Structure 1
């Protein structure tokens, strides 16, 4: 066929009234998309409602759906040569992936999925627009694509399968050969242009005796046109939402719409502003609205919960263990037995794993956790595990789909007794995806549970889902394409800048640009984009009698310009959200503002006890409100999940090595003796292996070996430093002490205490990080921080005030690190390099302090901090911004408010 139709005006027009006179049994209305089909049904129903007629409507469906129906009907035609399988879009993607990986096996691509998407689009363009690439125009990218396409077609032939492109060709051939009957009349609706392939099929229908019409849509351009400028996108959204609210408040019977070309990116912002603005006083819910954005099915809560539980099941079947991040995601998502009743307990269990830095959970441990915390879920989990053990390790997609349904049902999915409409529809869509997954059986063959879950997850991510429109909604929020052909009483079109309408061309890089340009394929050239933009804008202007267009003046630091289609429209100033609120506030009667001073909380009751670590006072010294929120209100940031190899585990391991080494050596004399006998390295390695078995049990064998080797090197270098000190013996190792003061019981664990030759003590605190360990700025403040060593020294000084022998002589912070060991601190003796004498430091109150005076001042400062905390002092005050570097309650401190 050489006939090429480029415009739908080639066909005879017919009105809605004329359409109703056709025999519905021999008439089919084909639309550009599904939304247009629903719109025609609605318009015809309204037309019949006015005349109170009852008429059977013809079949109204999208063009793509009709082509699929015709393809299925080929199977019933005589001499049908049908394939064994018809691939959907996902299945075709799997075959394309195999084809590309085979062709590029000698030089694998970094991003195969992107190549698959481009190849599918290029394949469709080649057929849809009847593209032919002369040898002169071939590019390296096209040559790679041609090789991929040849391999793809070969794989389809081997499978006995066809995709949507080949199915379309089969439909054309069936009509050309007369093997498919055609309807008496076909009415096209919403098509602004017709591609060569579509034109070929329509020509086949005409040749077979079918009459083609186009649905006439007598649309009148808007009479009232207004252009609005906004400062940025948020201000533009606020203005559009306020406009819609005002229209609906004054005319509840109207139907209005907001159109945004970037609705997918702005959907969350739009939903938040609409829910807040459309909330009428005294109403429990905002006015109904509809946002026409399809999200990946994977993002819907209960569908996501199902996948998270499948991840847990897959992990325990594969490894007999699960990571806290995987298990925690499932617990938080719910969708299981006791979904609502045990939600708080599941969240608490997840928080425990995070707080305790759990790296891995074995299957028995996970089951015991559930039994202790969530008994109802535990019962379902045990039943699910019993079912899981009966499943084969490998099976086909059909069997896996049934197995997954059985697992989830046994677990209690979806866990919610009463489902709202959107949730119910999402679960129906999830079940359809499981059926679609089962249809891939010919492509996937026999697969394991991990691969089955991964493929199902990918399918859910690629499947877009949008619930049915709320029939009570009077406000629609749509994208450009969704708004095409619509009818409203008023319309606001946002974001019309010169880089949106018309947009920049985006030709497919796998097809030579010259070929795309010659065919005038979509997105190929600036002229083609301008033509499309002109058509879509003219349609939008006819969607309502009142049309407002707008654009932002700035996006970040970039200046934006209006689309050329709206540059000549009359402008109107915009009232910002802040100005609108100010006007509303000014119209109200003057209200005296209430001022609350919240720097003083209630004091601890006589029977109350605060138990914890020295960190209670440390946080209070840095910011009293921080300590009040954390230890009185018990609020704190939810920490991330622990990961193997994180610095916290390394620090615990290194502390364990040092403890074991000095339990073995006990004194400097024995250290010297071991050095002379050449046994130090063996002792250190033995201690490191013992500590690794406990602290690094979740590490792989190779990673554990590396950490042990690193720790041995660090410790042996540190022992070289220990040999050069004045004589000492080890007095205590990793002993826990408790400081009791009024309502406080604060524990501290001192890494090591040495007893010197004169009977005094030297306190050591190990630091395994690579940061600075110099405590000068922390200990010389009027409100000292990093208090563990100062508190311990002050307590001992008070306890042994009458003895000069049993007192602390030095406080040492020892950094143990592969990049180099370091010691810092404060002392009354010469002990370690880098540990300063008291007189070397500058103190805020006075100079020339003695060691005893420093300890007394620390004791007074610590008592002052404790008394403040007990009395409920909660000042939101910061003495140094660095103090909040590790604050875990920053939102409570309101640091964004001026003056804090």
Structure 2
């Protein structure tokens, strides 16, 4: 059948005379109907008969309805669900497993559709293992169809053709096929039957544009390519071009950049928070409904169970689509922070309800509305009997309605469309009752989530001057100007992608879509001929670099001359702001206000530690209260484990008291005491965290602590005689208006009457951290203030680490405690300071700590990390101090 390249007006004239047009897709049908309507309006008509323009698939369904074939024919969702059942039944019978049944079902349905369209089949003898598996699935699918009395939707076009051949349907005298680059077998059969019945059938494509100007152009990358395209479009919008097309050969790879850059250049107002969808252009490809914020919130609410994850609670507390967001916004932010401070990855739903209702420590805002929603969900969780998908859809709708989901504020246009699409999704789930067995809540929710992921949401856009389309969607359309994006050799022609469930030899013999490279090249030639003649002004571009690889232009565009498109000035907001911004005045403000007398600042020795690491860190944390949100951990984290070690050793030494009692214990008695205090510490930590630990967690942690502390106490038993004088004693020091209050883990008295201050450490420790003008571990040096060298004989870290336990410290003499060296002759003191005696060391600490305290009180806040590894690697304030930007600027100044 020859293709008739006639003008659009001529085709519209044939429509006016009663011809019918069948289009390759809905977009072309809508384009032709709108062109017909404009023509009638231009003639001065106030009313006219709608033209007979239909998308081919829609017309076939209309014919099936007239024949009454649609009543027992499976809907697409039903057919796919039945394919899943067929595959699951086969896997169960074969004793095999497949992780991605839905994906396999989609591919199987597509293979069955192709075989039905081409009227062919194959047997197991000419097939591989995957093909034989598909044949088993297909047999089972047909058995399920027969058992349910359902018609195969893939056979529906064939039945329509039989009805046409038998004269059961009326046909117009003239039919035009519009936009088809290739004619599938079903359409070829339709044409043959129509012609046999006396209908004139013709193929239409618009004629090639005359006096065409344009050519091809390369850009460095996709970002630059899309940016220049958007600027070209805006230049045309400022002129007289009425129909501007942008065809994207690989829409999936370009979609996110297209949306962002076209908004920046054509509709920057759409970037503002709360702005409605842009009207400057219409992007044809939608996104999964599941990715819309309103729908994501719905699934987070529906997914809540007896135990909820911290991530889900945090998301719901921050979502604007949860009832009460506006009125409880501040309280929910506080609740989110405090839940994170629990450092638990998940917690019972009832516990979350209590926290939301009461607030934390009775001084923080309560989230009554949020708590009520959790209570509603908790009550509905009791109803968990298996039911059909439609019943679950009603249940989910009731739950969301009860929670007042998405009704806290008025919708904008896009949100209203999302809400409507969600309602349609729930309604569509009900159609699966006929092909599904009763299922549990979790299975029903997974099914609904899969349907939402498969449903493509595309907000209604303007059919105005700028259309962004895929290559197939642009079939049959003409423009005043057209830009083709991404015309590189890897996508145009596309690589062959034969279907995995049909033998490749069969696909090649029948020339099925994507069967081989020759088929793709031939099809690409047809698409290229259509696109390159679709507008009098043409630009074809490609990126020279993509995904880290160089790209060459498509061989199908080599005949086009190189050009330089005319572009409008960029309206990228960031660039415009930077261009018009005034010259910044640089002010180096490295000091905050001094601390006033009587001020209460919490932080203990952490204040001096942060001041030593970086003055800005101390100011931001302890004066401004800036810190990152806590993160959850699996089970017990380092903070928990350090706390447990401190608690158990505190109670143990309160009970034992001295070296003699320790060494008098046999192993059984020692283990019994440790088990007692470990269980007590775990119970106390559980009460503080307000979240119960599982039995397995507590058992593992108890075993770890028992081994660790047994190893540590064996080291303590090797020390010379000592008595534990003080445990967890309060210690206060004043630095001008600042008073620091801390607790000393332990003070031992030795046989000579002197004392040793001990601080437990479950992490890494080094004496070097006590030295220098800014000691980064000032805790033990701080405890020495106000003490004399005669009273205090040593300070030490008790490093309690499995396989690496021991004392680390400095003392007046050697051999006071194993691992503690005397000041005199200490190699680190000799290498880094001029300190020679124990008294000199105590004096040195007094001076350095007093200086750190004065600097903090004076408001010193300069960004000056003592060491990038110690101060910056794990610091959560880098977005605030922006030290990385400062360092980048410094490097730029050094570079030539």
Give 1:727's match in structure 2, choosing from 716, 721, 724: 721
Give me the whole-angstrom Cα distance separating, in 1, the residues matched to 2:53 and 2:807.
82
* 1:816-851 per-position Cα deviation (integer Å, ceiling 9, x unaligned): 23x553543444453555444441214676334333
Q: 1:410 aligns with which of 379, 383, 402?
A: 402
Decide which moves more: 877-886 or 255-264.
Answer: 255-264
Instruction: Give the match for residue 4 of structure 1.
Output: none
Superposed CA offset, 1:650-680 (max 9, x none) = 44444444344334333222211212x7311
Alpha-carbon deviation of 1:256?
3.2
**Given the superposition, is the C-alpha separation of residues 29 and 740 from structure 1 closer, same or farther in structure 2, using an over 3 Å criterion?**
farther
Q: Shift of residue 419 of structure 1?
A: 1.0
Contact kept in structure 1, 2:708 and 2:800, CA below 8 Å: no
Query: Is 1:107 the equivalent of 2:99?
Result: no
SS at match of 1:259: strand
Contact 2:84/2:101 (<8 A) preserved? no
The answer to whether structure 1 residue 267 and structure 2 residue 252 are counterparts is no
- The C-alpha deviation readout for 1:378-400, integer Å capped at 9, x for no partner, is 47527734862674533222222
* Aligned-partner SS, 1:439: helix
* Unaligned residue ranges in structure 1 (runs of 5+): 1-7
Look up the match of 1:193.
182
- Residue 37 of structure 1 is matched in structure 2 by 29
C-alpha displacement of 1:718: 1.7
1:331 corresponding residue in structure 2: 317
Tell me if the contact between 2:648 and 2:674 (Cα under 8 Å) persists in the aligned partners: yes
CA separation of 1:845/1:18 partners in 2, compared to 1, >3 Å: closer, same or farther? Answer: closer
Matched, 1:349 2:340: no
Give distance in 1, aligned partners of 2:830 and 2:153.
81
Q: Which of residues 499, 502, 505 in structure 2 aligns to 1:511? A: 502
How far does residue 307 in structure 1 lie from its aligned partner after superposition?
0.9
Is the Cα contact below 8 Å between 2:615 and 2:861 reproduced in 1? yes
Q: Give me the whole-angstrom Cα distance separating, in 1, the residues matched to 2:571 and 2:19.
A: 54
Q: Distance in 2 between matches of 1:738 and 1:181?
A: 99
Aligned residues of 2:773 and 2:848 also touching (Cα < 8 A)? yes
1:118: which partner in 2?
Answer: 107
Do the aligned partners of 2:611 and 2:852 also contact (CA within 8 Å) in 1?
A: yes
Pick closer, same or farther for the CA change 1:129–1:732 going to 2, 3 Å: farther
Map of 1:429 onto structure 2: 421
- Residue pair 1:236, 1:550 contacting (<8 A) in 2 also: yes
Alignment check: 8 A CA contact 1:334 1:343 kept: no
8 Å CA contact 1:616, 1:631 repeated in 2: yes
Please say if residues 238 and 577 of structure 1, whose CA atoms lie closer than 8 Å, have aligned partners that are also in contact.
Answer: no
CA distance 1:288–1:587, change in 2 (3 Å): closer
Q: 1:755 to 1:541 in 2, by over 3 A?
A: farther
Instruction: Please give the alpha-carbon distance, in whole angstroms, between the structure 2 residues aligned to 1:822 and 1:207.
Output: 98
Residue 231 of structure 2 contacts residue 567 of structure 2 at CA under 8 Å; is this kept in 1? no
Q: Would the alpha carbon gap of residues 17 and 780 (structure 1) be closer, same or farther in structure 2, given more than 3 Å must change? A: same
Question: Are 1:159 and 2:154 counterparts?
Answer: no
Q: Which residue of 1 aligns with 2:308?
A: 322
TM-score calculated relative to the size of structure 2: 0.87
For normalisation by structure 1, the TM-score amounts to 0.86
Q: 2: distance between equivalents of 1:490 and 1:277?
A: 18
Deviates more, 1:211-220 or 1:331-340: 211-220
Q: CA deviation at 1:110?
A: 4.3
Query: Which has the larger displacement, 207-216 or 517-526?
Result: 207-216
Give the CA deviation at 1:739: 4.9
**2:846 and 2:269 mapped to 1: Cα distance?**
57
**Residues 1:565 and 2:556 aligned together:** yes
C-alpha displacement of 1:427: 0.7
1:504 positional shift: 1.8
Equivalent-residue separation in structure 1 for 2:693 and 2:263 (angstroms): 48
> Counterpart in 1 of 2:776?
785
Cα deviation digits, residues 82-125 of structure 1 (max 9, x gap): 3587744652453354245335x423234444433432332222
Distance 1:840 1:511, change over 3 A: same
- C-alpha distance 140-718 of structure 1, shift in aligned 2 (>3 A): same
Quote the residue 1:57 is aligned against. 50
Among residues 598, 601, 618, which one is paired with 1:610 in the alignment? 601
Q: How many pairs were matched up? A: 868
Equivalent in the alignment of 2:765: 774
Give the Cα separation in 2 of the matches to 1:876 and 1:623: 6
Q: 1:94 aligns with which of 74, 84, 100?
A: 84
How far the C-alpha of 1:768 sits from its partner, in A, is: 4.0
Note closer, same or farther for the CA distance 1:122–1:639 as it changes in structure 2 (3 Å cut).
farther
Q: For 1:393-792, what aligned pairs fall within 5 Å after superposition?
A: 393-471=385-463, 474-555=465-546, 557-572=548-563, 594-604=585-595, 608-675=599-666, 678-695=668-685, 698-734=692-728, 737=731, 739-742=733-736, 744=738, 746=740, 748-768=742-762, 773-791=764-782
- Per the TM alignment, residue 363 of structure 1 is displaced from its structure 2 partner at its CA by 3.6
For residues 678 and 756 of structure 1, what CA distance do their matches in structure 2 show? 28
Question: Aligned to 1:899, what secondary structure does the other structure show?
Answer: helix
Looking at structure 2, the residues matched to 630 and 487 of structure 1 have their Cα atoms a distance apart, in angstroms, of 62
Identify which range, 441-450 or 606-615, moves more after superposition: 606-615
CA–CA distance in 1 between the matches of 2:455 and 2:572? 41
Displacement of 1:305 in angstroms is 0.9
Pair 332,22 (structure 1): closer, same or farther in 2 beyond 3 Å: same
Give the drift of 1:60: 3.8
2:347 corresponds in structure 1 to 361
- Residue 867 (structure 2) aligns with: 880
Q: Name the CA distance, whole Å, in 1 between partners of 2:155 and 2:106.
A: 18
Distance, in Å, in 1 between the alignment partners of 2:561 and 2:7 is 36
Asked whether the equivalents of residues 727 and 757 of structure 1 are also in contact (C-alpha less than 8 Å), the reply is yes
* 777-786 or 397-406, larger mean C-alpha shift: 777-786
Q: How far apart are 1:588 and its partner, in Å?
A: 8.7
What corresponds to 2:805 in structure 1?
821
How many Å apart are 1:499 and its aligned residue? 0.8
Equivalent position SS for 1:785: coil
* CA–CA distance in structure 1, aligned partners of residues 198 and 729 of structure 2: 96
**CA spacing shift, 1:408–1:842, aligned 2, 3 Å:** same
Task: Give the SS at the match of 1:755.
Answer: strand
SS at match of 1:415: coil
- Tell me if the contact between 2:245 and 2:482 (Cα under 8 Å) persists in the aligned partners: yes
Inter-CA distance 106–605: structure 2 relative to 1 (3 Å threshold)? same
Following superposition, the deviation at residue 352 of structure 1 comes to: 1.7
Q: For 2:268 and 2:498, locate their aligned partners in 1 and report how far apart those are by CA, in whole Å.
A: 47
1:144 Cα deviation after fit: 1.8
- State the Cα distance separating 1:251 from its structure 2 match: 2.2
Give yes or no for contact 1:88–1:163 (8 Å, CA) kept in 2.
Answer: no
- Classify the secondary structure of the residue corresponding to 1:307: helix
Q: Do the aligned partners of residues 59 and 387 (structure 1) sit closer, same or farther apart at CA in structure 2, a change above 3 Å counting? A: farther
> In structure 2, what is the equivalent of residue 240 of structure 1?
229
Contact 1:623/1:877 (<8 A) preserved: yes
Q: For 1:777 and 1:328, how far apart are their aligned partners in 2?
A: 41
Structure 2, gaps ≥5 residues long: 360-364, 892-896
Alignment equivalent of 2:844, drawn from 854, 857, 868: 857
Cα gap change, 1:88/1:47 in structure 2, threshold over 3 Å: closer, same or farther? farther
